[in-house]
Amino acid sequence: MKKAIIITISIIILLLIYVFFLKSTLTITPKPSPANITIDKKLFENSDKASIKLGSGKHKLKIEKEGYENYESTIKLGFLENKNINIDLKPTNETQDKQDIERISKQFTEVWFTYKSQTDKDYLEKIKPFMTKNFYEGTYYVNTKRPQDFKGQVPLNSLASTAEIIDYSGNKSLVNITVESNEPTTSKSYSQKAIITLIKENNNWLVDYLKPVL
């Protein structure tokens, strides 16, 4: 009788050790972060990562972040396994559009406001891929008053510091952009601002107009 009791108590102790101490560890890191991470029914709100002790077996994972598609998966953990998983979240179409718009706006204006010892032909070859055909061929010289000859131009280095989307409709966007410029030969530096119009053609965002802000 005593032996049976001892065996029963030992089994209970082993089960308690297994349930409360012998667990696997799951660590989830979403990119970008922070995000809302739910593992089974445990919510890690607005977190850069989530780490939790779990029993072996299958566990449900859900990650939510504004501007990105929800991520759902079932993760299997082995006994005493330590598993680290990085999850790349997929942006929604609108989020991807806005990321592309900001990137292209910065790249375009950095070329636009940078002068070196280039010829007009060199400059046009660099700037053309960013522009719509109408802007490049029709309004390029008239509306922007861009000089066609760079001889004698003071060298100017430019870096886009901000790109703020002020209007977005899915196939057209307006961007307020600020460019920090400096003249390496004179040590002068100043900010230049412009509003850029971009339109979507064949799934690519192209600059259709640039208006300097004085």
Q: What is the rounded radius of gyration, in angstroms, for the C-alpha atoms of the chain?
A: 29
Alpha carbon distance 186, 195 (integer Å): 27
pLDDT digits (tens, 9 = 90+) for 13-71: 545 445 555 688 999 999 999 999 999 999 999 999 999 999 889 999 999 999 999 99
Closest CA to 195 of 179, 173, 177: 177
Considering the entire predicted model, what is its pTM?
A: 0.74
Beta pairing class for 71-77 and 57-64: antiparallel
pLDDT digits (tens, 9 = 90+) for 146-192: 444 444 567 788 999 999 999 999 899 999 999 999 988 888 898 98
* Structural domains in the chain plus CATH codes: 23-88 (2.60.40.1120), 93-213 (3.10.450.540)
CA 101 to chain centre: 12
